[in-house]
Structure 1
Amino acid sequence: MRTRALRGRGGVSVRFDVRAAVVVVALVLAAIAASVVLIGTGDFDIPAADVIRTLLGNGDPGQEFIINDLRLPRVVVALLVGASLGLGGALFQSIARNPLGSPDVLGIGQGSTAGALLMIVIFQGSANEVAGGALVGGLVTGVAMYLLAWKQGVHGYRLVLVGIGVNAFAVAMNGYLLTKADLVDAARAVVWMTGSLNGRDWEQVWPLLALCAVLLPLIVAHARPLRMLEMGDDTAYALGVPVERTRVVLMTAAVLLTAAATAAAGPVSFVALTAPQLARRLTRSPGPNLLPAMCMGATLLVVADWASQRVFGADQLPVGVVTGVLGGVYLLWLLVTERKAGRI
């Protein structure tokens, strides 16, 4: 059976997809295993057994310093950023009813980059100020995209087309800001724009964790209206869903997740595009697949970070380069698939 029902007291019952639940458990286990391997990876390799022992509080002082102070924050940031991008991408794709309706395509990431570059180039801001600028830039971009796409509602394809235009404008603005920067600020900006987890510590963990803790219950509360929204505005209206309010709330949550992830790690490309699609192919389930997409995003980013440190020999690449290459190949495949299906 694909679905099962759990019945509780008072006649309350909850239905769940068995295959989707198995996929979520498998992805969580894969993310944990990849995290343990990644924590043990570096100039001083640590066996997985010693990593687990240290995380449980039984390691020696040297390993505790390396794991708990240096490597664990980076891995936690990777998990949170990947989960935020995967969940944000699933929300955008469901709202747009289009697999190309991703923050990477719609310009949210580039808008956050523009906000960060303004703080770097114009105001020579600190790391926290740059993160704040990225968050504000993503929010401003999301508001502009919604207003430009509005015409008696927000149609999915119109949202994608407007988002592509907003993305092009943000890319042009980022290029202009780089030309106005001096050599030091330009080098700092380029490093940030690649998307990297290097040097991440607990200061990046707590704000992103707090935001996820606030937004997750809100998103879960709107999961059922979102599923109905995927069937079309008219159908959702007929089923009693407040369409525009639901769309605004979920778009705001998706923009905040994407902008906060960008503020924490820079513009990590294509995780928000690929994670929801891969999750949907694994679950073979209709609907937004929010939890599988979130777990897939976390797993993808941790694995990509390990690959950036190990696959290319002595040259450690920023994780954004690895996700950009893999995501670009996936985007080309997706475009060909959508074209053959007659949807673009």
Structure 2
Amino acid sequence: MSAPTMPVATARAEQPEPPKVRPDLRTATRRPRRRRRLVLVGLALALVAAFAVRVLLGDYTFTIPDFFRILFGEQIPVSTFILMETKLPRAVLAVLVGLAFGAAGSLFQMLLRNPLASPDIVGVSLGASAAGIFALLTLGLRDGAVSLFAVIGAVLISGVVRWVAGTTGGYRLVLVGVGVAAAMVSVVQYLLARSNTWDVQLALRWLVGSLNNVPWSTIGLLAVALLVLLPTLAVMARSLEALELGADAAAGLGTGRHRTDALLLVGVLLTAVGVAAAGPVAFVAFMAGPIARALMGGRHSLLAGALVGAVLMLLADHTAAYLVPDVVLPVGIVTGAVGGPFLLWLLARGAATGRTG
């Protein structure tokens, strides 16, 4: 007698169904992308608004039609000079320098996995400053030659910091950078102490970081440099996610130390060209990364950091121009006044939460 057979329909009904993707999981994966797009669009709009405020408002205001008429070549007495020789160059330079510093600061913090690892802190900006001051005070150079020395100084100092720090990077590189920065401060102070009063005033104005009286030729050179460096960074940044996991994990994924050094070199050059154009504007590179990361919900973004840097520069320059009546302050005074407390807050927050980087 044969055993009873189970109907085919019943056997199929008793087989477990394949797991289905939960709708909430699919939504959770889309959420960061949506937030990223919204933040980037918001930052772009904030940049446009800050640029408009810097150019159109102030002691001498412009209407939007007048702005475009002057921009396309119409000559309006007084208005054309104020816009084309004062307001517009400062606003354009603020955007370019802010993009350079913001991208560089975010890049340093991503690569070294440390919110303190900005060009301001690890000595790159001060290396450029020391070289520029040496060219200005000792060699008697001006304008483009000083800018070239600043770029060379930033590259040399970053090479020294990287060599002394060795292959470990991270906190060791930050500590070495802080030590080298202290040495560069001593060099700058020595050069200032042995110079005459007039040259010292020129040097101090450049050291603080200022957008005053920067010619269109310098702005054009900075724009050309950024047209090369920023796309290069965008292409190379595809490996940043692997590098953020650490040196060993990055090496296992096929991304070695040479890629880290190449990215750091791009960050150094971005810092150097920004310092060469406007001086070492304090704390913009340092503040842009953490602010962008907070807006992105804890995720790093070079583009967000660059946009935040540009917005910070525009707002700081507008404040510097109109904070004190009849006095145009260097923009570095405003960023330094804001960046110092921001650094203390970041340190206190890290100590309170038990995080070190």
Share of identical aligned residues, percent?
38
User: Which amino acid is the alignment partner of residue 299 of structure 1?
Assistant: V
Deviations 1:80-124 (A, max 9, x none): 000100000011111110000011110111111101110111111
Q: Following the alignment from structure 2 to structure 1, what is the Cα–Cα distance between the partners of residues 181 and 97? A: 21
Map 1:1-344 → 2, pairs under 5 A:
1=27, 17-48=33-64, 50-52=66-68, 54-55=70-71, 60=76, 62-150=78-166, 153-241=167-255, 243-286=256-299, 288-344=300-356
Q: CA deviation at 1:70?
A: 3.2
TM superposition score normalised by structure 2: 0.87
Q: Following the alignment from structure 2 to structure 1, what is the Cα–Cα distance between the partners of residues 84 and 43? A: 24
Q: CA deviation at 1:223?
A: 1.6
User: Which amino acid is the alignment partner of residue 135 of structure 2?
Assistant: M
Do the aligned partners of 1:2 and 1:19 also contact (CA within 8 Å) in 2? no
Range 32-41 or range 193-202, more displaced: 32-41
Q: Following the alignment from structure 2 to structure 1, what is the Cα–Cα distance between the partners of residues 97 and 230? A: 14
1:194–1:164 CA distance, 2 compared to 1 (3 A): same
1:53–1:24 CA distance, 2 compared to 1 (3 A): farther
* Root-mean-square deviation over aligned CA pairs: 2.0
Aligned residues: 330
| 3-state SS of 1:17 partner | helix
User: What are the ranges of 5 or more consecutive residues in structure 1 without an aligned counterpart?
Assistant: 6-15
| 3-state SS of 1:103 partner | coil
User: Which amino acid is the alignment partner of residue 154 of structure 1?
Assistant: T
Residue aligning to 1:9: none
Q: CA deviation at 1:2?
A: 6.1
| 3-state SS of 2:121 partner | helix
Do the aligned partners of 1:20 and 1:285 also contact (CA within 8 Å) in 2? no
Q: Following the alignment from structure 2 to structure 1, what is the Cα–Cα distance between the partners of residues 49 and 164? A: 44
Q: Following the alignment from structure 2 to structure 1, what is the Cα–Cα distance between the partners of residues 138 and 78? A: 42
User: Which amino acid is the alignment partner of residue 304 of structure 1?
Assistant: A
TM superposition score normalised by structure 1: 0.90
Q: CA deviation at 1:268?
A: 0.2
User: Which amino acid is the alignment partner of residue 183 of structure 1?
Assistant: T
Q: Following the alignment from structure 2 to structure 1, what is the Cα–Cα distance between the partners of residues 290 and 186? A: 29
User: Which amino acid is the alignment partner of residue 270 of structure 1?
Assistant: F
Q: CA deviation at 1:68?
A: 2.9
Residue aligning to 1:13: none
User: What are the ranges of 5 or more consecutive residues in structure 2 without an aligned counterpart?
Assistant: 1-26
Q: CA deviation at 1:71?
A: 2.2
Q: Following the alignment from structure 1 to structure 2, what is the Cα–Cα distance between the partners of residues 53 and 35? A: 17
Do the aligned partners of 1:70 and 1:201 also contact (CA within 8 Å) in 2? no
Q: Which has the larger radius of gyration?
A: 2
Range 61-70 or range 110-119, more displaced: 61-70
Q: CA deviation at 1:175?
A: 0.7
Q: CA deviation at 1:314?
A: 3.0
Q: CA deviation at 1:316?
A: 2.4
